[in-house]
Amino acid sequence: MNQATAVHGEKISLLRVLGPAHVWALGVGIVLVGEYMGWNFAVGKGGAIAALIACWAAGLLYTCVAMIDSEVTSTVAAAGGQYAQSKHIIGPLMAFNVGLYLVFAYTMLEAANAITLGYLVQTVGQMAGFAEAHDKPFIVLTIMFLAWLNYRGVYATLTVNLILTAIAFIAIVILFTAVKPWSTELLNHKEILNGLPYGWIGVLASLHFGLWYYLGIEGTCQAAEEVRSPARSLPLGTMTGIMTLLIAATMTWYLCAGLMPWEYLGQATTPLFDAARLTSSMPLMVLLFVGTMFSTLASANGCINDASRAWFSMGRDRYLPTWFGAVHPKNRTPFRSIVFLVPVALIFAYFAPLDQVITFSILSGLLEYTYMSIQVIFFRQMWPLDSIKRGYVHPFHPLPALVLLAICSTTYFAVFLGYGTQLIAMMVFFIVASLWFHFHRYKYVRRGDQFTMNWPRPRGY
């Protein structure tokens, strides 16, 4: 079992206490907030129809991600998820980069959740007559409280996520049913929808924020060392998670696009809550206020869990200072990594605009998925199906990897259309970080300790 050194020098491991429901709650809990906010910026890029096309194209991308991830993770059952996979399949430099992509994707998503929750509380407070209500204290309180919860233990953290996520998903279903999608009493798609106002270039641009519907589902494999039966629980939790999200995304688009003009929907901060307000039903408004709040809490909670596991794994493997590779002797959590990432999330949540934070998270995820498509091809070549036991085998290989690579490449161009400067700045940052690792940190890495799986020698080596 993989272990880490605790405060007093003894070897302490992470606890294996999670089942498939916790894996589902981790994946869907991180992502479901994408239905409550962020996705609608795709409407502003190309109109409501373009956002629907982007929703389904992104759904195809993440179905490929879920399938590939389920196979590789059922074999590489180690904390760090895609980082651990890269370490075993490709090598240290790729693993270092993938680890950074994971940390930034989840930490920026955590910051976006805190921004949304703060805005929601401020809006509802002002509606209730508290004109002085401000979002900043709630942003700080959210991040600090959830970091403390993660510090205390993984079982309690993801059990809370399971409850919050279930309530947030049920809230979407209730709102969808309440607006009577079979009638035109409240929904008015015929008059509101206006085709493609910016043509097919608008559809392409919409891909950028279309990813937000599903970003983070791959986080299920971050808990690989804390799942009781990784070969069964990880594929089951991940695949049921992506199915849940595809349903929720389509329902969300349908009811929001039928209630709000695309010009407003494309810039709304909390579209589902706004949709509930347009029904003039106080119970629905309260329900969607609770659903939005719970979805942001569940997402930020899961993001702290995933980012800290990736950072912890890199410290344990000496890709970062080993100080980060410690496990709390009582709570059995990567407590130093959890605490270290708190100020990073706070800085972005406090000072950066929501769309910029979302874009940072999306770009980090895109880079990770690009590597994933290449990595699985190497994995199948080096360890064919008959060489090691897999808990799940994804079908039609290498088609999912090629589709994933094609959609990722298209989405880079979509991001460049609106956020070219940020795209270039991020690429420069990761290149500089790679140079730092290659010329400074690599000498501390113990290559012989990298391979913790009991695999046969790769074919051709």
Give residue 437's pLDDT.
96
Residue 205 CB neighbour total at 10 angstroms = 23
Residue 285 to residues 75, 155, 167, 266, Cα–Cα distance (Å): 45, 32, 15, 20
Per-residue pLDDT at 14 = 64
Residue listed under structure tokens 């079908």 = 395
């969808």: which residue's tokens? 176
Taking a C-beta distance cutoff of 8 angstroms, is the pair 266, 180 a contact? no
% of the chain with per-residue pLDDT over 70: 96
Task: Decide: helix, strand or coil at residue 4.
Answer: strand
Task: Tell me the domain boundaries of the chain.
Answer: 20-444
Pick the CATH number of 20-444 from 1.20.1740.10, 2.70.180.20, 1.10.340.30, 1.10.287.70: 1.20.1740.10
**Predicted confidence (pLDDT) per residue in 197-248, tens digit:** 999 999 999 999 999 999 988 878 777 777 887 777 888 888 898 999 999 9
The rounded distance, in Å, linking the Cα atoms of 230 and 252 is 32
Q: Over the range 16-35, which residues count as b (16 or more CB within 10 Å of their CB) and which as e? A: bbbbbbbbbbbbbbbbbbbb
In this prediction, residue 12 carries a pLDDT of 62
Task: Give the pLDDT confidence score for residue 453 in this predicted structure.
Answer: 76
pLDDT at 246: 92
SS3 content of the chain, % helix, strand, coil (to 5): 75, 0, 25
pLDDT under 70: residue ranges of the chain: 1-15, 79, 461
pTM of the full predicted structure?
0.88
Assign residue 91 a region (left: φ > 0; alpha: ψ between -120 and 50; beta: otherwise).
left
